[in-house]
Amino acid sequence: EKGGYEHFMLKEIYEQPRSILDSMRGRMIAESGHLMMGGVREYENKFVNADRIIIVACGTSWHAGLVAEYLIEDLARIPVEVEYASEFRYRNPIITEKDIVIAISQSGETADTLAAIELAKSKGATIFGICNVVGSSIARATDAGAYTHAGPEIGVASTKAFTAQVTVLTIIAMIIGSKRGTLETTRVRQLIAELESIPAKVEEALKLNDQIVEISKKFKDATNFLYLGRGYNFPVALEGALKLKEISYIHAEGYPAAEMKHGPIALIDEQMPVVVIATKDSSYEKIVSNVQEVKARKGKVIAIVTEGDTTIPSMADHVIEIPETSEHLMPLLSVIPLQLLSYHIAVMRGCNVDQPRNLAKSVTVE
Ligand code: M6R
């Protein structure tokens, strides 16, 4: 059942080239720039004319929502708010009929997300669901939606569901952007071609496994970890920290790298491993200075960089090189080494990777 892997989590990490492909299959044609998604087509005018999009989710799905905020605002120029479902539902939020609420959930059974949907529905908003489990409660409660085709996810730590969600959300952002005219056809074509190359690049990133085992050995006894990223990699920093916390029980925090100087920098000393996602993108120069700040305080830097980079490697203690891609798609690649890092550290610490203490695969209670 685990397909020869020691744990479901590892199997699911390795399934990502396939699950990402399955989540994009039949939904785009690179040559023409054509994009198709049934659920979106049905509500196309709503999407095009929406005043704003509110994304509700929890945990890892919320992180996928944050990536979508960057994607939709940049490609489709619609304001996006990303909300923890648990806060949104009790806040007396302002919701109108012109709002579109996108609910993201792997299981489709998360109680808080379901309650947030019911609230938004009662105010007349259009509800769009992104679920992995067909026929789940959330899928049934929405007006329309798109499934992620990640296949069953058994490990409590979400991995392939996250990359499938980001894939589907990328396609949605492109559809809205092209319909609204904020995204030119040539760019759509380029992005589709780039997205099509992602499964092979994830395959490349998975080859980093042995190197990540070696790095994990060095840091398995750490008591704290910081994860830093900017732009599209900021949600990935949060996701990397969550993965480490939930399966290895090491305290970890994810931060937007520039926020470090507003507090967390006080934590940095020679004991503190800092995972910096520093791929070549529009924030690259800025993150170079963030790495310098960490090194000046003797923090141990584990850097995720774009293949061929020489600047960050000259400063970092450990370097993990991932393939190049458009910054819009980078989370699909930069999250892979972080999943592997948390997995190996957890295994080395003797933790129950697939069923961490105190956690359930779907959180059906508040
Ligand atoms: O099934 P959902 O996507 O609604 O679940 C949301 C969270 O409970 C879930 O992502 C949780 O944070 C995972 N254990 C993270 O790995």
pLDDT digits (tens, 9 = 90+) for 198-250: 999 999 999 999 999 999 999 999 999 999 999 999 999 999 999 999 999 99
What pLDDT does residue 346 have? 98
| Contact 311 CB / ligand 1 (< 6 Å) | no
Ligand 1 pocket mutation pick from 61, 160, 243 by most atoms within 8 angstroms of CB:
61
159 pocket-lining for ligand 1 (C-beta < 6 Å):
no
The response to whether residue 107 sits with its C-beta less than 6 Å from ligand 1 reads yes
pLDDT digits (tens, 9 = 90+) for 51-88: 899 999 999 999 999 999 999 999 999 999 999 999 99
> Average pLDDT of 329-350?
98
Active site residue 245: no
Burial label for 261, CB within 10 Å (0-12, 13-18, 19+), is exposed
Q: Which residues pair with 306 in a beta bridge?
A: 322
Pocket flag, ligand 1, residue 59 (CB < 6 Å): yes
This prediction's pTM: 0.98
Distance CA 81, CA 91 (A): 14
d(CA 35, CA 7): 36
Helices (H), 77-159: 85-88, 111-122, 137-141
* pLDDT value at residue 30: 92
Residue 242 Cα to ligand 1 midpoint, Å, equals 10
Per-residue pLDDT, 365: 87
The model's pLDDT over 13-25, given as tens digits with 9 standing for 90+, comes to: 999 999 999 999 9
How many Å from the N-terminal Cα to the C-terminal Cα in the chain? 31
Q: How confident is the model at residue 106 (pLDDT cuts 50, 70, 90)?
A: very high
CA dist 82 and 28 (Å) reads 26
What mean pLDDT comes out for the span 98-107?
A: 97
- Quote the ligand 1 centre to 361 CA distance (angstroms): 7
Q: How confident is the model at residue 366 (pLDDT cuts 50, 70, 90)?
A: confident
Convert 224-253 to b/e letters by CB count within 10 Å (16 or more is b): ebbbbbbbbbbbbbbbbbbbbbbbbebebb
Rounded CA separation 59/81 (Å)? 16
Percent of the chain with pLDDT over 90: 98
Write the DSSP assignment of 87-99 as a string of letters: HHTTS-----TTE
How distant is the alpha carbon of residue 197 from its chain centre?
A: 18
Closest ligand 1 atom number to CA of residue 60: 10
Q: Is 148 in the pocket of ligand 1 (CB under 6 A)?
A: no
**pLDDT surpasses 90 at 138:** yes
Place of tokens 């490990």: 155
Whether 60 is in the pocket of ligand 1, judged by its Cβ within 6 Å, is yes
Q: Which two tokens stand for residue 269?
A: 């000393």
**C-alpha pair distances (Å), 198 with each of 203, 238, 245, 303:** 8, 22, 27, 21
Ligand 1, atom nearest to 158 Cα = 16
- Residue 1 pLDDT grade (very low, low, confident, very high; cuts 50, 70, 90): confident
For the segment 25-41, the average pLDDT, to the nearest whole number, is 94
The verdict on ipTM greater than 0.85 is yes
- 61 backbone dihedrals φ, ψ, rounded to 5°: -65, -35
- Counting residues of the chain whose pLDDT is more than 70, the rounded percentage is 100
Q: Give helix 160-180 / helix 16-24 axis angle, nearest 10°.
A: 30
State the residue for tokens 């087509």: 41
How many angstroms separate the alpha carbon of residue 61 from the centre of ligand 1? 6
**Average pLDDT of the segment spanning 257-274:** 94
Using most ligand atoms within 8 A of CB, pick from 55, 113, 133, 363 the residue to mutate for ligand 1: 363
- Phi/psi at 354 (nearest 5 deg)? -75, -25
Residue 297's pLDDT is 95
Res 190: pLDDT: 97
Contacts of 178 (CB under 8 A, 6+ apart): 33, 35, 185, 188
Q: What is the distance between the alpha carbons of residues 205 and 329, in angstroms, rounded to a whole number?
A: 14
Listing from the earlier edge strand, what are the strands of the sheet with 251-256? 251-256, 224-229, 273-277, 300-306, 318-322
Ligand 1 neighbour 342 (Cβ under 6 A): no
The residue-averaged pLDDT of 113-135 equals: 97
pLDDT in tens, 184-199: 999 999 999 999 999 9
pLDDT of the residue at 336:
98
Characterize the bridge pairing of strands 34-35 and 28-29. Answer: antiparallel
Calpha distance 270→257 (Å, rounded): 18
Token pair for 92 = 């007396």
Mean pLDDT over 331-353 rounds to 98
Would you state the structure tokens that stand for residue 81, as one six-digit string? Answer: 């708010």
Catalytic choice (121, 218, 295, 361): 361
What is the pLDDT of the chain when averaged over all its residues?
A: 96
